[in-house]
Structure 1
Amino acid sequence: MYHLKHFKAESDQEVLAFMKAHPFITLCGIDENNMPVATHLPILLEERDGEVILLAHAMRKQNHTLAFAENPHVLAIFSGENAYISASWYNNKHVASTWNYKAVHAKGIIKFLDDKGLYEVLVKLTNHFEGTNDSPAAVKHMDEKYIADNMKAIVAFEIVLTDIQHVFKLSQNRQEADKARIAEVLTNIGLDANELVK
C-alpha cells in the first residue's frame, strides 16, 4: 500500500467508519511453508479500551485456519467501491488514466476463542447483521442441538489490530472541473460518485 498525503482520510474515525461499512474482508496469513493463504468472511469491529478488535468465525481445519494457528500475524483487507477513471473525461485528455478506490489494510494478531467465545461471537454477529436481537433468525430462536452441531465445524477468533493503513484515492489531485466531470460520468453509468470522488 502506497502513501500519498492527498489520498488519505481526514481522521482515524473516518477510516474506522469505512471499515464498519465494509465488513466483508479478505483475511490473509502465511502458512508453515511460508506460502500465502487467504479467506473471505464478515467481521464485526469493536473498540475496547483504546484497541480496535475484529470478531469473526471460520470453518475449522481449513488451510487458512491452520495457517492462522501456526502464525497469528494476519492482514485484514477492507475494500470499497472502485472504478476506472478515464483521462478522456479530463480537460487535458493526454495524461494517464487511473483507478479510484478505497482500501484499508489492517494488521493484527489473531487469537482463537473457546466454545463460550464462539457462541458469543455467533450471537453478536447475527444480531448485528440482522439489525436486531429479536429477529426470528436470532441465535436465541435456534434449536440448541442445531447450534451445538454447527459449532463443531467452526471456530471463532478475535484480531487485535496493531496497525491500520489506508488509501482513499478519489481524484483529490484533480482540478475541480475534472472532478465534476468524473462524478457526472460515474453517475451516468450507475456508480455512486459520492463514494468515488472527493
Structure 2
Amino acid sequence: MYIPEYFKMETDFIYKCIEENPFSLLVSEIQGNLSATHIPLLLSKDKQSLIGHFAKPNPQKESLGKEVLCIFSGPHCYISPSWYETDRAVPTWNFTAVHVKGILNIVEDPNLIHDSLLTLVNRFESKDSSYKMDHVDTKYIEGLKKGIVPFEIRITSIEGKAKLSQNHSEERKKKVISELELLPGENEKAIAKLMKDELTKGS
C-alpha cells in the first residue's frame, strides 16, 4: 500500500482499526490465480496472528503455508473542494485502511478450534444477548464444526493508512470537519471525528 509519511498510522491505531473493523478481505494466490474471501478476522491477544475460518468448500483453504493479504477497511468519504477557502483544489477521498500479510496455517487442535469459535461469538454477540454457544447442544456444534476450516494467520507485516487531510492547513481541516458533520452518513461523521482527534493530538 502506498503510504506517504503524513498518512502513516501509528501501531496502536492500526490495532484499534482492526478491532473496530474486523470484516476483512482475505486475498491469496491459488494455482496462479488471485482469490478473495470477505470474512471476519480477529486479532489474537498477543497481536501476533489473526484467527478465522473458511467454509469447507472454499478453495482458499488451499492457501495453507502460503502468504496471504488481509485488508481491513475503515470509514471513508468524499471530500469536496467546494469546502475549501480556494478554488485551486481538487476532489479527494478520506479513509482509513490496514493491510496485514501473514502465513496461513490450518488449526486442527479441537480445543483451539472451540476456543476460536467461542472468541468470535463473544466478540460479536451483545453482552445482554440470550445466545451462548456453550449452551447449544454439543452434538449440533460438533456437526457444524465439520463444515468449516479454522485457521490462524501468523503476521509477517502490518501497515495502516489514515488519510485525514493531514497535508492541509488547520483552517482547511476545520472547514472540512464542519461540512462532514452536516452530512447524515455514518462514514462522514466517523471521518469528521477522526479528523478532530488528529487536530487535538497535534495541538
- What is the TM-score when the length of structure 2 is the normalising length? 0.87
Helix, strand or coil at the partner of 1:91: coil
Question: What is the alpha-carbon distance in structure 1 between the residues aligned to residue 85 and residue 60 of structure 2?
Answer: 47
Question: What residue in structure 2 maps to residue 37 of structure 1?
Answer: 35
Deviation at 1:145, TM superposition (A): 1.7
Percent identity between the aligned chains? 35
- 1:178 and 2:172 equivalent? yes
Query: Is residue 122 of structure 1 aligned with residue 122 of structure 2?
Result: no
Contact 1:76 1:107 in 2 (8 A): yes
Secondary structure of 1:92's counterpart equals coil
Paired letter, 1:127: N
Q: Is the 8 A contact 1:106 1:164 kept in 2?
A: yes
1:46 matched residue in structure 2: 44
Superposition pairs for residues 1-198 of structure 1, below 5 Å? 1-9=1-9, 11-32=10-31, 34-48=32-46, 52-66=48-62, 68-69=63-64, 72-114=66-108, 116=110, 117-132=112-127, 135-190=129-184, 191-192=188-189, 193-195=192-194, 198=198
Query: Alpha-carbon deviation of 1:107?
Result: 0.3
Q: 2:103 touches 2:155 (CA, 8 Å); kept in 1?
A: yes
TM-superposed deviation, 1:64: 2.2
SS of 1:28 mapped into structure 2: strand
Question: Offset of 1:135 from its aligned partner?
Answer: 4.9
Question: 1:59-92 deviations in whole A, cap 9, x for unaligned?
Answer: 01212223x23x5210010110001111111112
Q: TM-score, normalised by structure 1?
A: 0.89
Tell me how far 1:102 sits from its aligned partner: 0.4
CA distance in 1 between partners of 2:147 and 2:168 (Å) = 50
CA deviation map 1:76-129 (0-9, x unaligned): 101100011111111122222111000011000111111513222111111222
Letter in 1 for 2:124: F
| Matched residue SS, 1:195 | helix
Q: Give ranges in structure 1 of 5+ residues lacking alignment.
A: none
Which whole-Å CA distance do the structure 2 matches of 1:176 and 1:160 have between them? 40
AA matched with 1:19:
I
Q: CA RMSD in A?
A: 1.8
Does the CA-based 8 Å contact 1:80-1:103 persist in structure 2?
Answer: yes
* 1:57 shift after superposition: 1.1
* Contact 2:56–2:147 under 8 Å retained in 1: yes
| CA shift digits 1:155-178 (9 cap, x unpaired) | 111111110111100001111121
* Distance across 1 between alignment mates of 2:77 and 2:40: 23
